[in-house]
Amino acid sequence: MRNNTKEADGKGFPLRITAVEVRVVDNPDATNVGQREIDFVKNMLPVLDWPALVQAASQLGIPTLPPQLTEQLAQDPAFLQALYHILMNVHLVKGMLTCPASGREFPVTDGIVNMMLEEEECERVRV
Amino acid sequence: MSRPELSGHASIFYNEREARKYNSSSRMVNVQREITLRAIELLLLSPDKASYILDIGCGSGLSGQVLEEKGHIWVGCDVSRDMLQVAHERIDDSFDGNNKNVENDEGSDEVHDPPLSTGDLLHHDMGTGLPFRPATFDACISISALQWLCYSNSASQNPKRRLLRFFSQLYAILKKSARAVLQFYPETAEQAVLISECATAVGFGGGVVVDYPNSTKAKKHYLVLSCDRTSSKQVQQSMPSVEEQTHVSVSAASRKGIDKPIRKKKGIKTKEWIIKKKETQRKRGKSVRPDTKYTARRRPTKF
Ligand SMILES: C[S@@+](CC[C@H](N)C(=O)[O-])C[C@H]1O[C@@H](n2cnc3c(N)ncnc32)[C@H](O)[C@@H]1O
């Protein structure tokens, strides 16, 4: 799920998700999410690109994220709990990530995304 | 013992057989575990906070498992699909509730049992860069993997280029206050110098910590990096305090300090050193081979 934060080597973000199989790990009890988890999500908020996350979630079959992240939501424990669940428990098992800029595809199988690049595809470095 | 790095690409060495063997050896599990604990210690993470950590060369997830126990959230990348497959199977098992730890008390915040999460996995070669957005991670660890970048497996692979690309992208994806601790096995002193020079070239502060320097077997190199962009001097100053702190907890380990500048590593057996040594030996009346143009020349590595 945090695949949405992955960038196709500077060439493009966000990656478009084509989901074939998604696994949602049961969230047996929302109160299970403790302060440590809430703090973690708060810490992640500045890292997340919200529109990209909303798009990624809907591509994974979760259309419920609000389009805008308001100050108020960012303080709301119930919202943060739900967000934690989406970030941590929704896994793309099988599918494809596609770079919006180049169309380069990164297949996902068994929950592992293949991002192997050829030397020619990599960022140039002066030695 | 010949080095696996000389046998070709890591994904060929870490094949399915090797990957299964790796995890079923309790000696291996324990060694990797101990190194990971030490690396976490050197990261100076806040124990009360769940950090978002990148594990580079995560392999079968042994190091990641330790991160989970400490209540952190990790993402792993590795070049060997077979190693990742083993990591995936363990993660899958824990989803199904087969994790033997799950029965334990759930409310405890200290033990993080069951873990907060299990890692996300990428099949990826660190030498080709790191596919994440800038300032994403709170920390990075890498256990027994970095030395692989010193070898080239094809004509197009240039070790220095791959190291520089790796470090510059690592620098970018870490948060401002983040640290990275990378434990590695240098084959030669030159490799350790090359690695730390590439790290400092892209802006990292820090240096190499050597644990158990007098033991061939237990000796471990940890590259400790900090991306504090404001002042690298501050980093230098803060490093010795790391040492003081850790000395207490691992008192049996004699080790050289981090305050040792990286450059000093150079020139253990330079030509001048050897000639001088021969001179001294001659004065003591020992029989010494004459100095020639071959003296102190580098010999090709034997297998
Ligand atoms: C000795 S294992 C350590 C695995 C794990 N960190 C642990 O502590 O158990 C080294 C790992 O580094 C990986 N590796 C080697 N070269 C790599 C590269 N260029 N990019 C990513 N991983 C690499 C290997 O595939 C292998 O899984």
Residues A12-22: tens digit of each pLDDT: 678 889 999 99
Out of A8, A44, A111, name the one closest to residue B131 (CB). A8
More confident residue, B214 or B248: B214
Min Cα distance B118 → chain A (Å) is: 8
pLDDT band of residue B109 (cuts 50, 70, 90) is: very low
B46 burial (CB, 10 Å; 0-12 / 13-18 / 19+) is exposed
Percent of chain B with pLDDT over 90: 49
Strands B137-143 and B52-56 come out as parallel
Please state, in angstroms and rounded to a whole number, the distance separating the CA atoms of residues B19 and B104: 29
Tokens of B67: 């991160």
Domain that holds residue B208: 12-256
- pLDDT at position B57: 97
More confident residue, B105 or B138: B138
- pLDDT at position B103: 36
Count of structural domains within chain B: 1
Q: Which of A75-79, B81-85, B100-104, B267-271 has the lowest mean pLDDT?
A: B100-104
Residue B126 lies in a domain: yes
CATH of residue B229's domain is 3.40.50.150
pLDDT at residue B250 tops 60: no
- pLDDT at position A40: 92
Nearest CA in chain A to B105: A32
Average pLDDT value over all residues in chain B: 79
Out of A6, A23, A112, name the one closest to residue B131 (CB). A6
- pLDDT at position B231: 44
Residue B79 CB–ligand 1 contact under 6 Å? yes
Tokens of A47: 């890292």
- pLDDT at position B105: 39
Please state, in angstroms and rounded to a whole number, the distance separating the CA atoms of residues B56 and B141: 6
How far apart, in Å, are the Cα atoms of B261 and each of B118, B202, B208, B266? 37, 17, 8, 11
pTM, two decimals, is 0.79
Please state, in angstroms and rounded to a whole number, the distance separating the CA atoms of residues A68 and A59: 17
Please state, in angstroms and rounded to a whole number, the distance separating the CA atoms of residues A10 and A99: 10
Nearest CA in chain B to A31: B107
Please state, in angstroms and rounded to a whole number, the distance separating the CA atoms of residues B185 and B206: 18
Average pLDDT value over all residues in chain A: 83
Contact B74, B62 (CB under 8 A): no
Residue B222 lies in a domain: yes
In sequence order, what DSSP letters do the residues of B18-67 get, joined into one string? HHHHHHH-HHHHHHHHHHHHHHHHHHT--TTS--EEEEET-TTSHHHHHH
- pLDDT at position B106: 38
Number of C-alpha atoms within 13 angstroms, CB side, residue B86?
A: 22
pLDDT band of residue A27 (cuts 50, 70, 90) is: low
B164 chain-A contacts, CB cut-off 8 A: 125, 127
Percent of chain A with pLDDT over 90: 44
E strands within chain A?
A: 16-24, 90-98, 105-109, 112-114
In this prediction, residues B274-299 reach a mean pLDDT of 71
- The C-alpha torsion from B83 through B85 and B86 to B87, rounded to 10°, is 90
Strands B220-226 and B174-184 come out as antiparallel
Number of C-alpha atoms within 13 angstroms, CB side, residue B224?
A: 27
Residues B115-164: tens digit of each pLDDT: 556 788 999 999 999 989 889 999 999 999 999 999 988 888 899 999 99
B185 burial (CB, 10 Å; 0-12 / 13-18 / 19+) is middle
- Going A43 to A48 to A54 to A60, the CA torsion angle's sign is negative
CB atoms within 10 A of CB B122: 25
Residue B111's closest CA among B62, B141, B64, B68?
B68
Q: Is the peptide bond before A14 cis (omega within 30 degrees of 0)?
A: yes
* Architecture of the domain defined by A6-126: Single Sheet (2.20)
- pLDDT at position B200: 95
pLDDT band of residue B245 (cuts 50, 70, 90) is: very low
- pLDDT at position B212: 96
- pLDDT at position B116: 58
Q: Which of B39-48, B195-204, B210-219, B229-238 has the lowest mean pLDDT?
A: B229-238
The answer to whether the Cβ–Cβ distance between A116 and B131 falls below 8 Å is no
A123 chain-B contacts, CB cut-off 8 A: 129, 165, 169
In this prediction, residues A53-66 reach a mean pLDDT of 91
Estimate to the nearest angstrom the gap between the alpha carbon of B291 and the chain centroid. Answer: 39
Contact B135, A126 (CB under 8 A): no
Q: Which of A5-9, B123-127, B146-150, B167-171 has the lowest mean pLDDT?
A: A5-9
Residue B231, C-beta contacts closer than 8 angstroms, at least 6 positions apart: none
- pLDDT at position B43: 96
Pocket of ligand 1, candidates B18, B83, B146: which has the most ligand atoms within 8 Å of its Cβ, to mutate?
Answer: B83
ipTM of the predicted assembly exceeds 0.85: yes
Q: Which of B10-19, B169-178, B252-261 has the lowest mean pLDDT?
A: B252-261
Residue B174, C-beta contacts closer than 8 angstroms, at least 6 positions apart: B135, B136, B137, B139, B140, B180, B227
pLDDT band of residue B249 (cuts 50, 70, 90) is: very low
- pLDDT at position B9: 82
- pLDDT at position B20: 85
pLDDT at residue B45 tops 70: yes
pLDDT band of residue B257 (cuts 50, 70, 90) is: very low
